[in-house]
Amino acid sequence: GQNIDQPTEMTATEGAIVQINCTYQTSGFNGLFWYQQHAGEAPTFLSYNVLDGLEEKGRFSSFLSRSKGYSYLLLKELQMKDSASYLCAVMDSNYQLIWGAGTKLIIKP
């Protein structure tokens, strides 16, 4: 079966750095996505990785290792507004998105 694993919840301090991991086992691979979802709101797109390596976008970076079935989302200079759930999703060989359950990130002052 297809599976996406990510931690249920993480806590970090304002101004610090946090890394959210995602491991996956899917039927084929056509890219990995990270979305941010604030409580009670819709998910919004953060990043897309299809090749191995690090993609940097401002305070957020996303890394992919296809051979290890592994990705992480790195958030730097954390702000209170970064408190949200972060969803990892993989596009399989049929171009369908398989979603993880999400990681709830709590930022403390």
**78 vs 90, beta carbon nearer another protein:** 90
Shortest distance, position 14 Cβ to another protein, whole Å: 27
Q: How far is the CB of 101 from another protein (least distance, A)?
A: 5
**Residue whose CB is less far from another protein, 52 or 77:** 52
Give whichever of 43 and 69 is closer to another protein, judged by the CB atom. 43
**By the 8 A CB rule, do 3 and 25 touch?**
yes
Residue 82's φ and ψ, nearest 5 degrees, are: -80, -5
Task: Name the amino acid, one letter, at 78.
Answer: L
Contact (Cβ atoms closer than 8 angstroms) between residue 21 and residue 7: yes
For residues 42 and 49, the answer to whether their CB atoms sit within 8 Å is no
Contact set with another protein (CB under 8 A): 4, 8, 30-31, 33, 35, 41-45, 48, 87, 89, 91, 95-102
Residue pair 60/46 in contact by the 8 Å Cβ criterion: yes
Q: How far is the CB of 45 from another protein (least distance, A)?
A: 5
